[in-house]
Amino acid sequence: MIHTWFITGVSSGFGRELAEQLLSQGKRVAGTARRLEAVADLTADYPDAFNVWHLDVTDTPRIREVVDAAHERFGRLDVVVSNAGYGLFGAAEEATDDQIRHQIDTNLIGSIQLLRAALPHLRADGGGRILQLSSVGGHTAHPGGTLYQAAKWGIEGFTEALAAEVAPFNISVTIVEPGGARTSFAGSSLRLTPKLDAYDVSPSSTVRQALESGVDAPGDPARMAAAMIDNVDQDPAPLRLPLGSDSWTPIVSALESRLEDLRARKDVALSVESAD
């Protein structure tokens, strides 16, 4: 069977890597990008198997138009990949109101509205798969990443609940949680808040300095994309797919620490219930 994949953000990063691998395997890809010229080569090389539409995921009406157009073009959407997004880093107080709104509109609301737009088609066609790109930051909490992680924690909660809602329709959902990857994320997909000197003493300043100087990421984007593609053939679908040692190890550590903290509060938690 030739699967049709709908992928947001195919101009770079994981979206581009996924599109290239899928097209080389004979799959069909409906992609979205804010810069159509960045995928002109794919359009030329795969005129029958690849279509791309201009989309900014903060534009909800346009999301619905594009998803409907992609479904009409290919007749069905087997896999929907919510990938488009970027990282805003800096202390919470440093961010402007516009930066906060745009980060949440893009990484959280944009993903929610994309999946909502795709669900009627997936239901009507008898099922499908959803891959929601999250991050190691969907489980961990680091100073300097408050707003990025607010969006990622939010989309993890939404997607986990969604998985249960749509299971009766033969729609499976996987949350992809990559660690650092050698993609363009550190360039075009990373933004910093304005700097407040008062935060020079905060751990958030260390994060800022690391990002400004550049961070060596261990993840191979080609292997990570291949793992996402292979995951689609797993039945039952895993709810989560961590990718990279810098994802798996911190996530396990964060969950263990959270459980330890919760267990230490057990007596207090149970003490507030009425005796009768």
* Residues noted as catalytic: 134, 148, 152
Query: b/e for 195-227, b at 16 or more Cβ within 10 A?
Result: eeeebeebebbebbeebeeeeebebbbeebbeb
3-state secondary structure of 227: helix
**With contact defined as beta carbons under 8 Å apart, do 70 and 45 qualify?**
no
Structure tokens, 230: 């292979």
Q: Rounded to whole angstroms, how far apart are CA atoms 42 and 70?
A: 16
Q: Rounded to whole angstroms, how far apart are CA atoms 221 and 274?
A: 54
Q: Rounded to whole angstroms, how far apart are CA atoms 137 and 202?
A: 19
